[in-house]
Amino acid sequence: MQTRKFFSLALAQALLFAGCATMEAPSGGPEDKLPPRVAGIYPNPNSVNQSQELLVNVQFDEWINSSVPRSAITISPPIEKKLRFEVDGDLLTIRSNAPLDSNTTYTITVASGIKDLHGNAVAKPFQLAFSTGSSIDSLFLKGRVMVTAAMIKQKQYPSVGLFLLGSERATRRYLKKYKDTTNVVPDSLPRLDFEPPLFVTQADSNGWFRLGGLRAGRYRVVAFVDVNGNQRVEPLAEWAGVGENDIVLSTDTKDSLWIALADQDTSLMSLESVTPLGRNRLSTKFSRDIILDSGFTSLKNCRLTKMDSTRLFPVNVYKSPKGADPIFLFNPAPSPDTTYVFSCNEARDSLQRGLNSRLNSFSLTWEKFSGDTLTAAVAATEPVGGSKNIFPDTPIEVVFNKPVVGDSLGKGLVIVMNKDTLPTVVSRLDPTRFEVRAEKPWLTDAKVELLQMYADTTLKPADSTGFRDTVITMKSHNIVRFETIAKLKLASLEGKIPKGDIHTRVRLRSVENGKIVIAPCTMNGNFKLDRLMEGAYVVDYYRVKGGMDSPYAGRLNPLDWGAPWRSPSDTLRLSNGNNTLDSLIQNLPPLP
């Protein structure tokens, strides 16, 4: 009969469970919404002189799903072969065919990939440290890594890894297969985009992490979203961020680590497809969403080229009515049943990644179109119909499904606010987009409606002479309705970031709707954010780099340090009226 060994966290004593017992899945009772929790472990936490044959038992307070993803369990330092997982009811057993190194402290991390039978995931990573020698390393690092709304929705939380620096790397057996082929031993500097970190753990849903079981030394810190569960950074597929500098870990190390994340894919974009729309429009799709800046929308940047090298340039470039794909408008229209090559010289996305000059063209045959004479219709509005809590200075954007000719749109538009009719001011943004405002900002606590007026013509019944009179009646068509924010919900936030300057930004993300607002700081670190709604927010502040307003997370290869980033509170609750940051968060951590 096989014996399972545990150290009970609740009773602080060893428990033995018979491995041949008959077990059945629990059933009945109210719906389970609680995450599984660790109830017992083997070996004992911080135990020494453990066998070099890996055997770890983790017992939970309920049955867990037998499917355990690779990213759910990690071991630091890495070992040469994969971990093996066995699930038996509430018991998780971790093994490996690879022997553990002697006189080494190991840390097992059980993370959010472990779920119970109802799909509830482990809420907070659990760590077990033990040693194969007579002593155990007891240093630790703690801090926070950036977590986005998308990560929370997908329950895919970042990992934090430490890469060893210096000559000691030559003694690490797991690094031998990652060394440069020109070297006999691993290089003294880590290859961040190739080798696994020496120590790794997963952050919780708010980004907080703790790495224990560490020994003194020099380390390079990298955070990453381990999408494929291989415990290595994959820059082409995973967000990652480099620490602000290398750290020298000792008993005197007290500072917390703060790590921002960003897309680390530096590959160039490509033109993926082109689709004619009607007789004179062309929709294009690139491998990433591009910015319609002056360089891209320059009328000489993109073109259609015939086989005889005749070029046709667009007269306008604008964004798709219901997406981000660029649409090109040609006048004169391309010739039907003619083969063209569409190409662009340049294009950039929000991270300033450019267009691959070898993948910047697409061949197509322009077909003859008929029935392209339908009147342009409204495709979308912003705000969308039924929106609430719209701020007083928010304009209405009306988007049509095709270009609108002339300036006749504004003549039939009427704004009604709380049953009062207001004059409109209409501005064209591009061939399909118009901005509509009243002459003054909306009132708070108001109901606003944008109407399109039109003349409805009918004929009266014929009189005794056979004459039929024409009757013209003005009618209206609703384009969008929305409600403005209540005065008692308006909020603002101001404050001072310690050691902030003109290169510092303060960012708030609404927990309720995910909207993000960013404010620059003055040279003294002061900032103010208006147009906020009372409620819960996630706040962070950081130094910008490269002309971008988002946090700079550094680069893996070539190495570039991440810029300072801080996020000291899980949520910040704003109330109606003016709020001050220092009254909501005490002892703000300064930027370096």
pLDDT digits (tens, 9 = 90+) for 87-131: 999 999 999 999 999 999 999 999 888 899 998 888 888 999 999
| Neighbour-count burial of 349, counting CB atoms closer than 10 A to its CB (0-12 exposed, 13-18 middle, 19+ buried) | middle
CB proximity list for 163: less than 8 A, separation 6 or greater: 190, 192, 195, 197, 198, 219, 220, 221, 222
Q: In what order do the strands lie in the sheet containing 338-344? A: 311-312, 302-306, 338-344, 361-366
Q: Alpha-carbon distance 480 to 450, whole Å? A: 5
pTM confidence score: 0.84
How wide is the angle at C-alpha 218 spanned by C-alphas 96 and 94, nearest 5°?
A: 15
Q: Would you tell me which CATH number, out of the four given (3.30.870.10, 2.60.40.1220, 1.20.1250.20, 1.20.58.1610), belongs to the domain 271-366?
A: 2.60.40.1220
**CA 235 to the chain's CA centroid:** 15
Domain 488-584 CATH class label: mainly beta
What pLDDT was estimated at residue 169? 87
pLDDT digits (tens, 9 = 90+) for 253-279: 888 999 999 999 989 999 999 999 988
588 or 368, greater pLDDT:
588
Q: Alpha-carbon distance 78 to 161, whole Å? A: 11
Whether 271-366 and 378-484 share one fold: the answer is: yes
Using the structure block, give the residue that is written with the tokens 């020494």.
48
Amino acid identity of residue 272, one-letter, is: E
What pLDDT was estimated at residue 410? 60
Q: Alpha-carbon distance 306 to 342, whole Å? A: 9
Amino acid identity of residue 179, one-letter, is: K
Domain 378-484 CATH class label: mainly beta
What pLDDT was estimated at residue 371? 62
CB 124 within 8 A of CB 111: no
Q: How far is CA 297 from CA 231, 331, 401, 548, in A?
A: 42, 16, 20, 21
What pLDDT was estimated at residue 185? 58
Polymer length of the chain: 592
Model confidence at 364, pLDDT cuts 50, 70, 90, reads: very high
Q: Alpha-carbon distance 87 to 286, whole Å? A: 45
* Cis status of the peptide bond prior to 423, with omega within 30 of 0: no
Question: Which residue, among 377, 402, 375, 397, has the nearest Cα to 385 in the 3D structure?
Answer: 397
Question: Which has the minimum average pLDDT: 5-9, 121-125, 196-200?
Answer: 5-9
Under DSSP, the state recorded for 157 is P
- Residue 478 pLDDT greater than 60, yes or no: yes
What pLDDT was estimated at residue 9? 46
What pLDDT was estimated at residue 15? 37
- Residue 10 pLDDT greater than 60, yes or no: no
Q: Summarize the confidence of residues 168-174 as an average pLDDT.
A: 83
Q: Alpha-carbon distance 196 to 212, whole Å? A: 17
Q: Alpha-carbon distance 175 to 196, whole Å? A: 8
Q: Is 150 helix (H, G, I), strand (E, B) or coil?
A: helix
The strand pair at 447-459 and 217-224 is best described as unpaired
141 or 453, greater pLDDT:
141
Q: Alpha-carbon distance 81 to 97, whole Å? A: 7
Q: Would you tell me which CATH number, out of the four given (3.90.1150.10, 3.20.20.70, 2.60.40.3710, 2.140.10.30), belongs to the domain 3-240?
A: 2.60.40.3710
CB proximity list for 183: less than 8 A, separation 6 or greater: none
CB 359 within 8 A of CB 342: no
pLDDT digits (tens, 9 = 90+) for 14-68: 333 333 333 455 555 566 788 899 999 999 999 999 999 999 999 999 999 998 8
Token pair for 134? 């007579």
CA count, 13 A, side-chain hemisphere, 275 = 9
Q: Alpha-carbon distance 516 to 298, whole Å? A: 30
CB proximity list for 526: less than 8 A, separation 6 or greater: 494, 495, 496, 500
CB 384 within 8 A of CB 394: no
Indicate the domain borders of the chain.
Answer: 3-240, 271-366, 378-484, 488-584
